[in-house]
Structure 1
Amino acid sequence: MIEEGSVPASSGSARTSTERPAARGRLRVYLGAAPGVGKTVAMLGEARRRRERGTDVVVGIVEDHGRDYTRECLGDLEVIPRRTLEHRGITLTELDLPAVLARRPAVVLIDELAHTNAPGIGHEKRWQDVQSILDAGIDVITTVNIQHLESLNDVVAGITGIVQAETVPDDVVRAADQIELVDMSPQSLRRRMAHGHVYPAGAIDTALGNYFREGNLTALRELALLWVADRVDEGLDRYRREHGITGTWAARERIVVALTGGPEGPLLLRRGARIAGRATGRDLVAVHIVRSDGSMGAPTGEIESQRLLAESLGGSFHLIVGDDIAASVLDFARGVNGTQIVVGASRHGRLTQLVRPSTSMAIVRGSGDIDVHVVTHQPMPRPPGRARRRASVRTRWAWAAVVGVPVLLAAVMRLFREGLNLPTVLLIFLLGVQTTALIGGVLPAAITAVVAGVLANLLFTQPYGSLTIAEPQNAFALLVFVVVGVTVASIVDRSRAAAAQAARGQAEAQLLAAVANTMALPGDPLTAVLEQARIGFGMRRAVLVRSGPGTTRPDPRVLAVAGDTMPDPDDPLAGADVVVDADGEEGLVLGLFGHPLVAADQQLVDVVAAQVALALERSELEAEAAQAERLRQSDVVRTAILAAVSHDLRTPLATIKASMSSLRDGAVTWSAEDRDDLLAATDEAADQLDGLLSNLLDLSRLQTGVLAPVRRPVSVDEVVYRALIGLPTARLDVEISDDLPLIDTDRGLLERVVANIVSNAVSHSADGKPVRILAGEVPGAASIQIRVIDHGAGVPEAQREAMFAPFQRLGDAPSGSGIGLGLAVARGLALAVDASIEVDDTPGGGLTMIITVPIAGRDEQPASGRSEGEAV
Structure 2
Amino acid sequence: MARGELRIYLGAAPGVGKTYTMLEEAHRRAERGTDVVVAFVETHGRRHTEAMVGDLEVLPRTELRYRGAGFTEMDLDAVLARKPELAVVDEFAHTNVPGARNAKRWQDVRELLDAGISVLTTVNVQHLESLNDVVAQITGAQQRETVPDAVVRAAEQVELVDMTPEALRRRMAHGNIYRPEKIDAALGNYFRTGNLTALRELALLWLADKVEDQLDKYRADHKIDATWETRERVVVALTGGPEGDTLIRRAARIAARTKGADLMAVHVARNDGLAGADPATLARQRVLVESLGGSYHQVVGSDVPRALLDFARAVNATQIVLGASSRGRFAQLFSAGVGVTTTALSGSIDVHLVTHELAGQGRRARRSGAALSRGRRVAGFLTVLLGFPVLTGLLAIGRGLSLTNDILLFLAAVVGVALIGGLWPALLAAVGSSLLLNWFFTPPVGRFTIAEGENLLALGIFVVVALAVSWVVDTAARTTRQAAEAGADAQTLSAVAGSVLRGERPLMALLERLRETFTLDSVTLLDQGVVVAEVGQPVCTRPAEADAEVKGDDDITMLLKGRPLEASDRRIVEAFAAQATLALRQERLTAEAATAKPLAEADRMRTALLAAVSHDLRTPLASAKASVASLRSADVHFDDEDRAALLETADESLDRLTRLVTNLLDMSRLQAGALGVAPIDIGADEIVPHALDDLGPAGHDVRLHIPDDLPDLRADPGLLERVIVNLTANALRHSPPGRPPVITASTLGGLVEIRVVDHGPGIPEDRRDDVFLPFQRLGDRDNHTGVGLGLALSRGLTEAMGGTLTPDETAGGGLTMIISLPAADPS
Q: Which category of TM-score, normalised to the shorter sequence, fits these structures?
A: 0.3 to 0.5
Rg larger for: 2
TM-score (norm. length: structure 1): 0.43
TM-score (norm. length: structure 2): 0.45
Higher relative contact order (CA 8 A, sep 6+): 1
